[in-house]
A and B are shown apart, each in its own frame.
Chain A
């Protein structure tokens, strides 16, 4: 089973990289981009095929390492 973890900055946390991307898009003529937030995508290949076990395991991984919950949110998709 594969898991896809999306890590994004929490609302209210300044994202200078997102701002730089927004500026670059604007300079390319893409008007109307109100905000850009950059995150991370982490793909995991898991040995288990038990969805509940996978969900619990990946949640623990996110809490312990994959995300810094002081500044980041995470979202888990099992595929």
Chain B
């Protein structure tokens, strides 16, 4: 699996993401600076978490207008995989590769803790290594992860099985208490129509090795390695 990790000013999870790709696939990621206009020949383009441009204007808004973004759009149009995590999810929605937007957490607080996610679609290129309905542990760290989409978009996402991850409790129940940011329908991660772009707020790249306290996030990278 050949991967590229995009780097913007203010991003801080790029090394974690590159490490996850390398541990799972044995191949080092290309680190691609935002001013580039071409991507290397890769299967997966990953957009990491952090605070690109200090979250100025809106989270991800300025990064989404970077020179490299046209190349990311072309990569997605060719059917290449795009993975946006945390700020990367915000950037991918600002680019328009995924619908909806990430708003300020309902609590108004930055939340940094471990949550549980339920895999609501295990037939995607990003989740096939998980069992349907499997509950996994995953760290989160964000202040603006409150997913919002209008009623029509939401109905489409739900109807087409494009809500891939949902916040839940240890038993897999989606409750308000288990939802760290107030996301509509407890959405933690969504897929585009074609199935090659995934955006999620939680950080699976931070549960890859037992040294990190668990390996629940590995499945996502193993799933990609099966198809890429």
Question: Which positions in A face B, CB cutoff 8 Å?
Answer: 12-14, 16-17, 20, 64-66, 68, 70-71
Contact = CB atoms under 8 A, between A and B. Distances in A.
Contacts of B101: 68, 70-71
Contact of B105 (A16, A66, A70): A16
Interface in B46-85: 57-58, 61-62, 65
B190 to A, nearest CB: 13
Contacts of A68: 58, 61, 94, 101
B161 interface: no
Nearest to A10: B150
Given A13-B148, A65-B57, A71 B103 contact: yes
A16 B106 contact: yes
Contacts of B106: 14, 16
Interface of B: 57-58, 61-62, 65, 93-94, 99-101, 103-108, 146, 148-150, 182
Residue with the greatest number of chain A CB neighbours at <10 A, chosen from B94, B101, B182:
B101
B167 to A, nearest CB: 17
B99 A70 contact: yes
Contacts of B62: 65
Report whether over half of chain B's contact residues are helix, strand or loop; otherwise say mixed.
loop
A57 to B, nearest CB: 16
Nearest to A13: B148
B108 A65 contact: no
Given A65-B61, A70-B148, 15 more contacts: A12-B150, A14-B106, A16-B103, A16-B106, A17-B104, A64-B65, A65-B62, A68-B101, A70-B93, A70-B100, A70-B149, A70-B150, A71-B101, A71-B103, A71-B148
Contact of A16 (B57, B65, B104): B104
A17 B106 CA distance: 9
Residue with the greatest number of chain B CB neighbours at <10 A, chosen from A12, A16, A17, A64:
A16
B65 A14 contact: no
A68 B148 CA distance: 12
A61 B61 CA distance: 13
Given A20-B108, A68-B94, A71-B148, A14 B100 contact: no
B228 to A, nearest CB: 29
A66 B99 CA distance: 18
Contacts of B103: 13-14, 16, 71
Contacts of A70: 93, 99-101, 148-150
Closest 10 CB pairs of A and B: A71-B101, A70-B101, A16-B106, A16-B108, A16-B104, A20-B108, A68-B58, A68-B101, A65-B65, A17-B104
Residue with the greatest number of chain B CB neighbours at <10 A, chosen from A12, A14, A68, A71:
A68
A66 B106 CA distance: 23
Contacts of A12: 150
